[in-house]
Structure 1
Amino acid sequence: MTGVSARDFTDAEDRDGFFGPGSVTWRIHADPSFSVGGIRALLLQALHPVAMGGVHRFSEGFTSEPWARLTRTAEYVATLTFGTRREALRAVRRVRGMHRGKSDTEPTTGRAYSVDDPDLLLWVHACEVDSLLSVARRSGVPLTDADADAYVAEQAVAAELIGCDPADVPRSEAALAAYFDRVRPELAITGPARDAARFVVVPPMPGWVQLLTPARPAWAGLASLGLATLPRWARSMYGLPALAVTEPATTASLRAFRAATLAIPTRVRDNPTLRAARVRVA
């Protein structure tokens, strides 16, 4: 999959992208729950010392421009999901080029790593897939167990494009859960993880934005949901309550958020890449 090029597919395949409007990927990534799932993914990704060390060491704008970084990440996922295959491949090449040649040693583990090590890319991928799927189901997106397995399998395409080893990529919900069970002993809260969580939950905003817009309370609500939807073991690592009694309230809040957002007209709610894709495949 990593060697795929525009010569490998037809114009019709290019138009539909790597997933297509009938995919479970489109259903989940076009849903309002995507925003909460994305925050959950970032918080989960931060718990891998080596992966987070690479972000802290090499990610431009990690501390100075967190909004720009979040926007770039969201645009990459949107292009990979809803763009044409040619657009998706350009986005993949750009990201892989940014990763190339960046190496360091993570101080808490002593591991020498490259940012594009397949196991680190797989961790980022698995956190994203698990988070988007989990939050979508809890938010009320109608997904069967078969749909969940299909989504994990579809997303293997994204993992292989970015450089994961195809043999290691989970292709079912059960395989994804087994992956997290294997990796959990490697996870830890480090200084960069705490910094990342702080920037995700309470990102810096210009004073005029905080005073004249609802951005701060709106983001606080989304970030709180992202934290609350983490697995119990991850919440415990962050020092947050991991009690089962909090789960029903979180699910109710997710469903209320989704219902309120779905009431917004699609021309306002949908991102430009999704709107363009709907026109293109109509």
Structure 2
Amino acid sequence: MKKTREITPHEDYGFFGPDSITQKVWGHPAVPLMGIVRAVTIEELDPNLLAAVHDTGANYDRLDTRYARTVQYFAAVAFADSRTVTKMADVLVKIHSKAIGIEPVSGNRYDANDPDSQLWILITGWHSVLTAYETFGPGKLSDAEVEQFWAECAIAAEFQTCDPRAVPRSREEVRAYFEAWRPRLAASEATQRMMHHLLNGADAVLPRRGLLGVMRPVANALICRATIATLPRHMRRLADIRQSRATDVVVISIMKVLMAAVDRSHPLKRWIFGIIAPKALSIVEPSWQGIPPANPVVLTPAEARERYGYVQPALAHLELRARQRARVFDDHQAPSDEGLIESQPMLGTLG
């Protein structure tokens, strides 16, 4: 008799129930492939974010680890229970407290916990995931579904230091947000190198042995080209990315067929997550299998913070953030690693 694999139910539904647009969109297999790749690539056009990421060198040294942790965090916000997400959000503020310094082109200070930077990351991430879903998945959401999607994004904003009221609520408002950001986008040589590296991230994430190792160059090319096909032309110019419209059409057609096949196969979805972000499997599987949580309720972020004893991320760890600023800007020392070690049980090892 075949042994049934046991799946542990979540403690509760977290902040989005099974009927939410968030779980509908974030659960599609195009999300951990083209959606997140698109998000982390576009983010680098913010000079402050580029400086924060570039200074650590982690995207070059351990891209597979960073990508897995990113996928796991976003999956947790959409699917995990309230205790897990609230704790993760608190630790994330600690992690970001060390991502501070001087942006080399402008000479201005940057801080990863800055509300504008956090809003840029949030909107870019959710918009990229929606773009991947609509491009490679079932198709366009209705206007009502899009409005619900962005209303739910505002809930997710409460787990970062940005203001939930600043989240756009419609396609038009999202377009206006990105249009307002255009004068702030910039691409140095470091930016272009980073964006090309991230677009080819599958080459670092996928195994190098066995059948998948043989197929790795093909998989990398498809994911890279498919992600580029979703990028606006002005972003491609900044990043020095060249791809014809014909290539866009062909690769989108191929990936739509592949993603439809994967979406119909639970083993294939598990296999993809197992490669990209294995720790995310236990987060998304209860939803995939329709397994209800121990307590089938949806909480608000405020209810969860009160229940578990946390404050809003914008007000969290102010003393630590002040110490980090003093170390970097006054004492000219490297920031401490406080928060990084604490994050490993939740987001996976840094090594």
Same fold (TM over 0.5): yes
TM superposition shift of 1:211: 7.1
Q: Deviations over 1:223-254 (max 9, x none)?
A: 22111211122122222347666554344233
Mapped pair 1:273 → 2:283: yes
- Tell me which structure has the larger Cα radius of gyration: 2
Please say if residues 100 and 115 of structure 1, whose CA atoms lie closer than 8 Å, have aligned partners that are also in contact: yes
Q: Deviations over 1:175-195 (max 9, x none)?
A: 111110111101011233223
1:31 to 14, 17, 28: 28
CA distance in 1, matches of 2:257, 2:231: 18
Q: Aligned residue for 1:173?
A: 171
Mapped pair 1:137 → 2:134: yes
Q: Aligned residue for 2:59?
A: 62
Q: Aligned residue for 1:10?
A: none
Segments of 5+ residues of structure 2 without an aligned counterpart are 1-9, 271-280, 297-351
CA distance in 1, matches of 2:94, 2:162: 15
CA distance in 1, matches of 2:230, 2:237: 12
Alignment size in residue pairs:
268
CA distance in 1, matches of 2:255, 2:218: 16
Segments of 5+ residues of structure 1 without an aligned counterpart are 1-12
Q: Deviations over 1:2-38 (max 9, x none)?
A: xxxxxxxxxxx96111111111110111111212111
Q: Deviations over 1:158-206 (max 9, x none)?
A: 1221111233222222211111011110101123322322322334649
TM superposition shift of 1:53: 1.0
TM-score of the aligned structures, taking structure 1 as reference length: 0.85
Distance of aligned partners of 1:244 and 1:112 in 2 relative to their CA distance in 1, 3 Å threshold: same
TM superposition shift of 1:39: 0.8
TM-score of the aligned structures, taking structure 2 as reference length: 0.70
Please say if residues 226 and 252 of structure 2, whose CA atoms lie closer than 8 Å, have aligned partners that are also in contact: no
Moved over 6 A (4+): none
CA distance in 2, matches of 1:269, 1:107: 42
Equivalent positions of 1:142-153 (< 5 A) are 142=139, 143-153=141-151
Per the alignment, in what secondary structure is the counterpart of residue 102 of structure 2?
strand
Q: Give the counterpart letter for 2:240 in structure 1.
A: G
CA RMSD across the alignment: 2.6
CA distance in 2, matches of 1:162, 1:224: 31
Q: Give the counterpart letter for 2:191 in structure 1.
A: A
Q: Aligned residue for 2:194?
A: 196
Per the alignment, in what secondary structure is the counterpart of residue 107 of structure 1?
coil
**Larger RCO, structures 1/2 (Cα 8 Å, 6+ apart):** 2
Of residues 150-159 and 73-82 in structure 1, the stretch that sits farther from structure 2 once superposed is 150-159
Equivalent positions of 1:203-218 (< 5 A) are 203=201, 205=204, 209=208, 213=213, 214-218=215-219
Of residues 234-243 and 170-179 in structure 1, the stretch that sits farther from structure 2 once superposed is 234-243
Distance of aligned partners of 1:185 and 1:44 in 2 relative to their CA distance in 1, 3 Å threshold: same
CA distance in 2, matches of 1:162, 1:48: 18
CA distance in 1, matches of 2:205, 2:158: 39
Equivalent positions of 1:177-188 (< 5 A) are 177-188=175-186
CA distance in 2, matches of 1:207, 1:276: 25
Q: Aligned residue for 2:108?
A: 111
Q: Deviations over 1:115-162 (max 9, x none)?
A: 110101111111111111112112242521221221112111112211
Distance of aligned partners of 1:102 and 1:247 in 2 relative to their CA distance in 1, 3 Å threshold: closer
Distance of aligned partners of 1:244 and 1:227 in 2 relative to their CA distance in 1, 3 Å threshold: closer
Per the alignment, in what secondary structure is the counterpart of residue 75 of structure 2?
helix
TM superposition shift of 1:69: 0.4
Q: Give the counterpart letter for 2:197 in structure 1.
A: F
Distance of aligned partners of 1:250 and 1:105 in 2 relative to their CA distance in 1, 3 Å threshold: same
Percent identity reads: 26
Q: Give the counterpart letter for 1:160 in structure 2.
A: E
CA distance in 1, matches of 2:84, 2:252: 35
CA distance in 1, matches of 2:216, 2:155: 35
Of residues 212-221 and 227-236 in structure 1, the stretch that sits farther from structure 2 once superposed is 212-221
